[in-house]
Amino acid sequence: MSVLKEKKILLGITAGIAAYKTASLVRLFIKLGAEVKVVMTPASKDFITPLTLSTLSKNPVHSSFYTKEDENELWNNHVELGLWADYMLIAPATANTLSKMANGVCDNLLLATYLSAKCPVYFAPAMDLDMHAHPSTTESLEKLQSFGNLLIPATSGELASGLMGEGRMAAPEDIVSFIEKDVLDTLPLKGKKILITAGPTYEAIDPVRFIGNHSSGKMGFAIANVAASLGAQVSLISGPTNQQAKHASIHRVDVTSAQEMHTAVHLCFKEMDIAILSAAVADYKPKNIATQKIKKAAGSLDIELMPTKDILASLGKVKKHQFLVGFALETNNEIENAKAKLKRKNLDLIVLNSLKDKGAGFATDTNKITIIDQDLNKINFELKSKVLVAEDIIKEIILRVNK
């Protein structure tokens, strides 16, 4: 899955022959799962039509501060467009527009939007070789980069003039790859290996029945997806669940029992930088598993149980450089029990859930947590969606890992 999935990309198009390539650019961004809006300079419409771009992006295309054809003369708010975007790309960026950007000229909607943007701004120059080599263009390129804008260099080849040389806008595929790589390089978990456990475990009674719990795996999968979106390589070890991982950088291992999860976790733990154990692992399992289905009888059925291996405690004993995070689901004396678990199992962080909190716990789409660190500092969070809770958890981990 691309790091651009679900990102908002604002594409600015200026009046160069390379504008025809922007149709392919929009299609590539959409295929990667991004949302695209387009702002054009008025003159750029001579090279590619707004109809083409609005059809491909599935969003209206803006080129002026208000729509003259609309009887209501709807205002196109450049500030809103600039704040909407996660990333802005100006392609092609002509010598004229580069000079205006570098010197703060603001005579069209695209330039006003550029000056309002709070997000990273990429620009891909396109012009004839002599224009590209002119000292004024070089000065504009250097000035824009000094502002923090990101240059996607022009390439060499046959130009619209028929000449051969530098000035061609980079190919759409190369532009997308450039942005993906740049985004990935800036992600806070790039290069980090993270182990995450999720879901329940099932402990067999006989070939048909098992002891389990109500865990859906939603919380663990949300954490895995957030971690992967921030650049981590994720090993997700999951008990039985219908949840699906959303990122290609998530390596999923399916297990059933606590023993299988224990084995899988210890196989990869040494290579990990961070381990987040959110699975609801069974504390007990049947001492003897029947080889045949137990028939229903008139009397009661007694099943002798024995403790399962404590996966979290076993990792706490062998951890070296790893940052270890556990979960505590409590029904009484929540804070005291969580603090005791944090110390007893040698954790760096513990995430506390209370079943007393409405909307928290198993099988819901929301959760309410308290995070406690090694110094017993306590951070309380409001009830949120599990995706937002996952973001809070990962944020607190990053703050401590990157100290």
Catalytic residues: 213
Query: Which residue, 226, 236, 190, is CA-closest to 5?
Result: 226
Q: Give residue 182's region: left, alpha or beta (phi > 0; psi -120 to 50).
A: alpha
What is the C-alpha to C-alpha distance for residues 70 and 355, in angstroms, rounded to an integer?
A: 55
Q: Are 39 and 109 in contact (CB under 8 A)?
A: yes
Q: Are 290 and 220 in contact (CB under 8 A)?
A: no
What is the C-alpha to C-alpha distance for residues 234 and 29, in angstroms, rounded to an integer?
A: 24
Task: Identify the burial level of 333 via C-beta atoms within 10 angstroms of its C-beta, where 0-12 means exposed, 13-18 middle and 19 or more buried.
Answer: exposed
For 370, which DSSP code?
Answer: E
Contacts of 208 by beta carbon, 8 Å cutoff, 6+ apart: 293
Contacts of 298 by beta carbon, 8 Å cutoff, 6+ apart: none
Cα atoms in the Cβ-side hemisphere of radius 13 Å centred on 354: 18
Contacts of 307 by beta carbon, 8 Å cutoff, 6+ apart: 283, 284
